[in-house]
Amino acid sequence: MEKFWHEFDELFKEHGGVAARSGREVSYGTYHVRLDVLKQGFHALRTGTLVKLENDQVVPERRFKLASPWNMKQKYIRALVTDWVTRGLSTAYVHNQLSVWRQFCTWVNKPNLVPRTEEIIADPRYQHRCQVALRDKTWSGCGIDVAQKILEIAGTDPRVAMVFELMVMFSPRLKEASLLRPHQADQGVYLDINRGCKGGRERVHKITTLEERAVLERAKALVVDRTGCLVPKDKNFKQWQNRVYYVTRKHGISIKKVGTSTHGLRHEGLNRHYEEITGAKSPVRGGQQGEVSPETDRFARAQVAEVAGHGKRSVSAAYLGGVMRGKKKNAT
């Protein structure tokens, strides 16, 4: 094996499976995203397959003599960013790529090698990734009768429908709901969500209503095996995920058709949670200025973030919309 890739493999074996902040093991998906981003980036740098804009023409970038991953320099990061922007790749893509490269640079003891986005990209479209919901992505907000639609889906595949019920009631991600072991996760007064969690963020969800209890009991009745989950034994998660998407499209649910997807059920649950706490609709669902006090709004957003499995209260804006600010009074 070439020396460069041998060193890279050693680095990745040591650091690639570890979360940036908590030091815990990352998910299968995160691990492989990191691996793909870094391998593709290094291959492009070393083979001269990057592009740049020169005199309004797209031209090849030069090939960089990068003998070791430990020799990472800021000029290589800038070349990668120039390539992404020249190709017109999305803001989300660029920010996700930079996140991985920032993490890599900490592995080679160069934590400040990747500049802030606004310092490295002049185009303002790329400087800020919008993480505030600007429209209602819940199923009900897109004109879907949630209960009726899940009942229809149950006629095609009861397990898919059950996953969707769990998403509405407890707000897990699709993977978390699918891999949930209902019998083991039921801890009486709370639901233990500990499988398939993004970033390894396990959490619990208090069971406080008869409706929540009823959904969980239906899930337990469907999964007879006490150690089983909603994914059938003859399918791996990828196959199951494809099945879920197929069934969803079959019943007319897609971004293209109705403006929402399976993830809209998570939005549904989290918005309902906000409304239960505040007694008012979230901003993205039509909540009005003054209906909720700033203190109550902050508390509700913190609770929503916790239920969602996020570490920061601000992430709740991706589901609820931005915090509404009152107009400043004129000085007298």
Domain boundary among 126, 160, 189: 126
Cα angle: 235, vertex 237, 243; to 5 degrees: 70
Query: b vs e for 181-193, b when ≥16 Cβ sit within 10 Å of the residue's Cβ?
Result: bbbebbeeeebeb
262 with 234, same domain: the answer is yes
Please tell me the predicted confidence (pLDDT) of residue 325. 60
Q: Give the CATH number for residue 192.
A: 1.10.443.10
Residue 133 lies in a domain: no
Domain boundary among 70, 95, 126: 126
Asked if residue 187 belongs to a domain, the reply is yes
Q: How many domains does the chain have?
A: 2
| Domain membership of residue 168 as a residue range | 140-320
Give me the sign of the Cα torsion angle 251, 255, 260, 263. Answer: positive
pLDDT computed for residue 134 by the predictor: 84
Residues 215 and 286 in one domain: yes
Could you say which of 96, 126, 156 is where a domain stops? 126
318 CB contacts (<8 Å, ≥6 apart)? 131, 132, 133
Q: CA-to-CA distance for 160 and 140, rounded, in angstroms?
A: 18
Q: Is the domain of 208 the same as that of 159?
A: yes
Binned average pLDDT, 10 residues per bin, the chain of 332 residues? 92 91 78 94 94 88 94 94 88 87 95 81 62 88 97 97 97 96 96 88 92 97 95 94 96 94 96 95 92 94 92 87 61 36
Residues 202, 92 share a domain:
no
Structure tokens at 181: 């072991």
In this predicted structure, what is the pLDDT of residue 228? 96
My answer on whether 28 and 144 are in the same domain is: no
Classify residue 332: in a domain, yes or no. Answer: no
pLDDT score recorded for residue 1: 62
Residue 83 CB neighbour total at 10 angstroms: 21
Asked whether residue 158 is domain-assigned, the answer is yes
pLDDT of residue 101: 96
| Residues 49 and 157 placed together within one structural domain of the fold | no
| Rounded Cα distance, 303 and 296, in Å | 11
Considering the domain architecture, whether residues 120 and 149 belong to the same structural domain is answered as: no
User: Are 226 and 308 part of one and the same domain?
Assistant: yes
Give the pTM: 0.69
